[in-house]
């Protein structure tokens, strides 16, 4: 089966010479949910921006469902950006249109979807995150958790094959955090979730990878990684006080 | 669009004028203002007619006179200027309550006051019956350059975010004992403005990346909703037509 995502030997250095990625290899099977863990500055966001060709120029290759990311080819990159839906950390960065519905329509409209089909996409995406009754609201007047859900909808409306979530649980109250988890679990797509929230990773993702200093340093079942004290300490990963991954019942 | 942009100039009511498409209202308001401005200042009756027309529009739009009057105070600086004209004017003078007033100045003051007030009231009526979002849509449909409408769209979305940022930064300053009472304490405020600019600049970059990720190629997709039907153009043409009628009558009968 063609992997949903295959990264081979990916390198990247910023113009100031700082090396962010030093040979990343990662493969995701279709339908998998994988957490991308790592300390601040490990290169997580840099890696995410490579998945849809926004950053490029180093050695190595990224393939989305068998299609290589070729930043020079405008047509191909549009298709890549349809396949890879990135939900950014700050919903105020993602939601820039005056109303919720217009923002959700932005992505599919860029893909050439128009008229009734566009309206149907917007309805479907808003329904998937339980925000249908807020379609004509101003993003600024929604709660933070609602804005994050709308941000997910803006990407779902493009019918992506891979959903990339950057810190999905940050700044959410526990109820919003749980609601978002339920939404993510209900989606039939491959998920790559960048997070510092280790219990969230354990709850949602059977598999985790640890990125540190621009390399994948560990890849395995989330529970196994989180209980490996030496590995965790070696990469500045710490569990919240009182949280013991071994005591959590297996969900998967 | 019941977008609920809380805006002090917008009055959320149900009325035939609220329901008109924004572009026909913009054109109608613009034509009305131009006609008012080109009317000779001595046609006093014509200006009375214009005022009656606006009163009619306000009544149909269910905008209360008090609401309009309060917001029309933005015109006050110009009225003050107008009051100065008869006192400072040249030429023939008349005596009134012991004041020696210039006739030409009186006409000039009347000119500014009458045309200014009518223009301000017309714009207020447009703003009261049209949301900011719809105004931008209307300008877009009137072929206003896309760069301008895009900038306005972004402003509409981020002005509140920015205001919130500024408010939070101010509260954080106050919480650390900042109590700006004297001019030399303004430095922290100035630095705050600089920080706000940097924040906005960085946010702009992040917004752009997020837009690229959703397939943005430099053009915003066409917004839904077609242009205004001919019926609306006809309905809204009544205001400038009536205005032109009054202007013509005044000039011909004079």
Do B23 and B120 belong together in one domain? yes
Nearest of B239, B236, B253 to residue B40 by alpha carbon = B253
B242 and B133 co-located in one domain: yes
Residue B1 lies in a domain: no
Residues of A in contact with B1 (CB under 8 A): 99, 136
What whole-number distance in Å separates Cα of residue B212 and Cα of residue A51? 12
Residues B244 and B130 occupy one common structural domain: yes
Q: Are strands A162-166 and A84-87 parallel, antiparallel or unpaired?
A: parallel
Within 8 A by CB and 6+ apart from A47, the residues are: A7, A10, A21, A24, A36, A211
In a domain, B83, yes or no: yes
Q: Are residues B205 and B95 in the same domain?
A: no
Helices vs strands, H then E, count in chain A? 10, 10
Q: Are residues B167 and B101 in the same domain?
A: no
Indicate the pTM of the whole model: 0.77
B6 inside domain: no
Whether residue B192 lies inside any domain: the answer is yes
Query: Which residues of chain B lie closer than 8 angstroms to A94, CB-CB?
Result: 207, 210
On whether residue B27 sits in a domain, the answer given is: yes
Strands of A5-13's sheet in order across: A19-28, A5-13, A61-64, A67-68
One domain, residues B29 and B79: yes
Name the residue range of residue B51's domain: 16-138+227-253
pLDDT in tens, A110-130: 888 888 999 999 999 999 999
The verdict on B21 and B131 lying in the same domain is yes
| β-bridge partners, A6 | A27, A63
From the list B3, B211, B224, the residue facing A138 with the nearest CB is B3
For residue range B176-228, what is the model confidence (pLDDT) as tens digits? 777 777 777 677 778 888 888 888 888 888 988 998 898 888 777 766 567 77
For the stretch A29-58, pLDDT in tens is: 999 999 999 998 889 999 999 999 989 889
A81 to B1: CB separation less than 8 angstroms, yes or no: no
Q: How confident is the model at residue A7 (pLDDT cuts 50, 70, 90)?
A: very high
Q: What is the pLDDT of residues B18-54, one digit of tens each?
A: 888 888 999 999 999 999 999 888 888 889 999 999 9
Chain A CB within 8 Å of residue B157 CB: yes
| Pairwise CA distance, residues A243 & B47, whole Å | 77
Chain B residues whose CB is inside 8 A of the A106 CB are: 211, 214, 216, 220-221
From chain A, the residues in CB contact with B211 under 8 A are 96, 106
Does residue B81 lie within any of the structural domains? yes
Q: Is pLDDT of B15 > 90?
A: no
pLDDT of residue A226: 94
Residue B4 has its nearest CB partner, among A84, A105, A137, at: A137
| A252 pLDDT more than 60 | no
Does residue A43 come out as left (phi exceeding 0), alpha (psi in the -120 to 50 range) or beta? left
Q: Complex ipTM, two decimals?
A: 0.80
Question: Number of structural domains, chain B?
Answer: 2
Using CA of residue A26, residue A30, residue A35, residue A41, what is the dihedral sign? positive
Instruction: Indicate the residue of A110, A140, A154 with minimum beta-carbon distance to B161.
Output: A140
> What's the pLDDT at B222?
64
Q: Which residue of A has its CA nearest to B225?
A: A115
Do B21 and B130 fall into the same domain?
A: yes
Is residue B221 a part of any domain in this protein?
no
Examine the domain organization and report whether B156 and B203 are in the same domain: yes
Residues on chain A touching B160 (C-beta within 8 angstroms): 138, 140
Domain annotation covers residue B4: no
Provide, rounded to the nearest whole percent, the portion of chain A with pLDDT above 70. Answer: 99
The answer to whether residues B88 and B168 belong to one domain is: no
Please, are residues B196 and B169 in contact by the beta-carbon 8 Å criterion? Answer: yes
Residues A55, A86 contacting (CB under 8 angstroms):
no
Contact criterion met (CB < 8 Å) for B213 and A90: no
Same structural domain for residues B77 and B99? yes
* B94 & B176 share domain: no
| Cβ within 8 Å, pair A52-B206 | no
B108-138, pLDDT tens digit by residue? Answer: 888 889 999 999 999 999 999 988 888 888 8
């Amino acid at each position: 089966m063609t992997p949903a995502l295959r990264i081979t030997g990916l390198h990247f250095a910023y113009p100031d010479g700082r090396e962010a990625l030093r040979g990343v290899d990662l493969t995701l099977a279709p339908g998998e949910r994988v957490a991308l863990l790592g300390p601040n500055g490990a290169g997580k966001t840099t890696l995410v921006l490579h998945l849809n060709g926004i950053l490029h120029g180093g050695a190595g290759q990224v393939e989305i469902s068998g299609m290589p990311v070729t930043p020079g080819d405008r047509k191909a990159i549009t298709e890549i950006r349809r396949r890879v839906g990135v939900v950014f950390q700050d919903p105020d960065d993602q939601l820039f249109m005056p109303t919720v519905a217009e923002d959700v329509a932005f992505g599919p409209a860029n893909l050439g979807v128009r008229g009734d089909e566009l309206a149907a996409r917007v309805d479907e995406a808003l329904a998937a995150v339980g925000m249908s009754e807020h379609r004509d609201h101003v993003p600024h007047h929604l709660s933070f958790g609602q804005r994050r859900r709308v941000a997910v909808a803006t990407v779902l409306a493009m019918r992506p094959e891979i959903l990339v979530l950057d810190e999905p649980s940050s700044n959410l109250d526990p109820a919003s955090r749980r609601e978002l988890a339920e939404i993510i679990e209900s989606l039939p797509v491959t998920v790559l979730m960048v997070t510092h929230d280790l219990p969230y990773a354990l709850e949602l993702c059977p598999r985790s990878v640890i990125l540190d200093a621009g390399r994948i340093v560990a890849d395995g079942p989330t529970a196994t990684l989180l209980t490996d004290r030496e590995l965790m300490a070696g990469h500045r990963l710490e569990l919240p006080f009182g949280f013991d991954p071994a005591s959590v019942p297996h969900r998967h | 669009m019941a977008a609920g942009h809380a805006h002090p100039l917008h009055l959320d009511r149900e009325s035939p004028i609220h329901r008109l498409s924004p572009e026909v209202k913009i054109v109608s308001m613009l034509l009305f203002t131009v006609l008012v401005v080109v009317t000779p200042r001595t046609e006093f009756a014509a200006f009375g007619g214009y005022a009656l027309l606006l009163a009619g529009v306000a009544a149909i739009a269910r905008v209360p006179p008090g609401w309009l009057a309060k917001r029309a105070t933005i015109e006050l600086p110009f009225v003050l200027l107008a009051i100065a004209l008869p006192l400072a004017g040249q030429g023939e003078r008349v005596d009134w309550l012991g004041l020696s007033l210039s006739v030409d100045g009186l006409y000039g003051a009347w000119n500014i006051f009458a045309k200014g007030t009518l223009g301000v009231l017309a714009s207020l009526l447009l703003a009261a019956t049209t949301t900011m979002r719809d105004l931008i849509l209307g300008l877009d449909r009137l072929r206003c350059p896309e760069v301008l409408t895009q900038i306005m769209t972004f402003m509409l979305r981020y002005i509140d975010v920015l205001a919130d940022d500024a408010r939070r930064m101010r509260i954080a300053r106050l919480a650390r004992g900042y109590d700006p009472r004297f001019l030399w304490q303004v430095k922290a405020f100035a630095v705050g403005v600089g920080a706000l600019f940097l924040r906005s600049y960085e946010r702009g970059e992040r917004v752009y990346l997020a837009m690229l990720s959703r397939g943005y190629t430099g053009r915003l997709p066409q917004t839904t909703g077609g242009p205004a039907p001919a019926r609306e153009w006809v309905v809204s043409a009544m205001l400038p037509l009536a205005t032109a009628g009054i202007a013509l009558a005044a000039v011909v009968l004079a």
